[in-house]
Amino acid sequence: MALKFFYTPKNRQFNFKPRYYDEQKEDLENRIEQIRRELGQNDPNNDKKTYSANIKGRMKGTLRRSRDTQQKSNIRLILIIIVLSLVAYYVFFK
């Protein structure tokens, strides 16, 4: 135990390997993709679906779920208070 009192752990070492990033190549690919979209050409090798936002539907679902969880949480809290008050009544008055 006395030896552990003055023990200081060594610093943690991280093995971080940065990735190579070619900004010019990425800009070129973005410009080529933008031109293809403008011309209406689709790459047969690229089967990515276009992104379509459904924010309104997502927000409704999120609000409904949060409301349901809040109601369940309130009911659970009321039940816990009732049980604790019954236990306290039993302990102090019997």
SS3 track for 39-76: HCCCCCCCCCCCCCCCHHHHHHHHHHHHHHHHHHHHHH
Interacting residues of 43 by C-beta distance below 8 A, sequence separation 6+:
36
Would the pTM of this model clear 0.85, i.e. be above it? no
% residues pLDDT > 70 (the chain):
78
* Phi, psi torsion values for 5, nearest 5 degrees: -65, -40
What pLDDT digit, counting tens, does each position of 15-62 carry?
877 787 788 888 999 999 888 888 877 655 555 555 556 666 667 777
